[in-house]
Amino acid sequence: MTEENKLASGNLSYMATVRAIVWKDLTMEWHTGQILSVMLVFSLTAAIIYNFALYGSLAAARDASTGFLWVTILLAGTLGLNRSLMAEQENRSLEAILMAPIDRSAIYVGKVISVIIFTLAMEAILVPIFTAFFNKPFWRPQVLFILILGTIGYVAAGVLITSMTVQTRTREVLLPVLLLPLTLPVVLAAAQVTAAYVAAVPPEWSEVQFAVSLVVAYDIFMVTAGFLTYHYVVEE
């Protein structure tokens, strides 16, 4: 049986369902380029604004660059999340997905993975730009690792919250108000680790151990919470 036939007969395994949803999102993005283009243009604009804000002092801009990187990811992330989940609301495509006899949590996992892919793609472009703009080693493997860990927690919370806000009256306005405070703990911890690793002297593991475990614990909590509660969010 081909994948489509299996989907039609309801025989699709959990992983195959997740893969189908991720594939659908990637294909859509490949054709429209809506999400990545918005995130990228926004983050570049933000990077320029930061440089202007601290124009007088390059040293100050350099010191604050880790914060800038995470703020950019945080704000560009809300744009990407909004776009990705609004697309499901438009043309009522989510309703069509819900008609399929599939586990609702598979939709959550699929959505989280696809938004993580978009966010990582944006970060892949941001990292060299920030390295060049602020002359700091954002390309270090440890930095990339914590970027990935932080993104997981952020997106895991983001997909859950955005799936709710797109169904409300105020939509885009409500998302940052709900999502930014909720994800601040993981972003603050990840930013702290990032700052430690772009410093001239890389830190000892014991110095960042707590912040890294906080990020991992947050990831686990949010993925579990989203996994268990998602069908209450999409179900009518």
Residues binding another protein (CB under 8 A) = 157, 160-161, 164-165, 167-170, 174, 177-178, 181-182, 184-185, 188, 206-207, 209-210, 214, 218, 221-222, 225-226, 229, 232-233
In the complex, what is the shortest distance from the CB of residue 180 to another protein, in angstroms, rounded to a whole number?
A: 8
Nearest distance from C-beta of residue 27 to another protein, angstroms: 29
CB of 124 to another protein, least distance (A): 28
Written in H, E and C, the secondary structure of 97-130 is HHHCCCCHHHHHHHHHHHHHHHHHHHHHHHHHHH
Residue with smaller CB distance to another protein, 52 or 232? 232
For residue 68, give both structure tokens. Answer: 């800038």
30 versus 200: smaller Cβ distance to another protein? 200
CA distance 134 to 118: 24
Shortest Cβ 181–another protein spacing (Å)? 4
Torsion of CA 78, 152, 154, 147, to 10 degrees: -90
The CA distances from residue 176 to 50, 115, 173, 193, in Å, are: 20, 17, 7, 24
**Identity of the residue, 132 or 225, whose beta carbon is nearer to another protein in the bound complex:** 225
Three-state secondary structure of 117-175: HHHHHHHHHHHHHHHHHHCCCCCCHHHHHHHHHHHHHHHHHHHHHHHHHCCCCCHHHHH
Q: Which is nearer to another protein, 113 or 223 (CB)?
A: 223
What are the φ and ψ backbone dihedral angles of 100, each rounded to 5 degrees? -70, 145
For residue 209, the minimal CB distance to another protein (Å) is: 6
Q: Whose Cβ is closer to another protein: residue 49's or residue 177's?
A: 177
The count of other CB atoms within 10 Å of the CB of residue 114 is 23
Beta carbon nearer to another protein, 113 or 156 = 156
Q: How far is the CB of 184 from another protein (least distance, A)?
A: 5
Tokens (6 digits) for 129: 């730009």
Which lies closer to another protein via its Cβ, residue 77 or residue 133? 77
Instruction: Say which residue the tokens 């002297």 belong to.
Output: 201
Q: How far is the CB of 225 from another protein (least distance, A)?
A: 5
Compute CA 28 distance to the chain's CA centroid, rounded to the nearest angstrom: 18
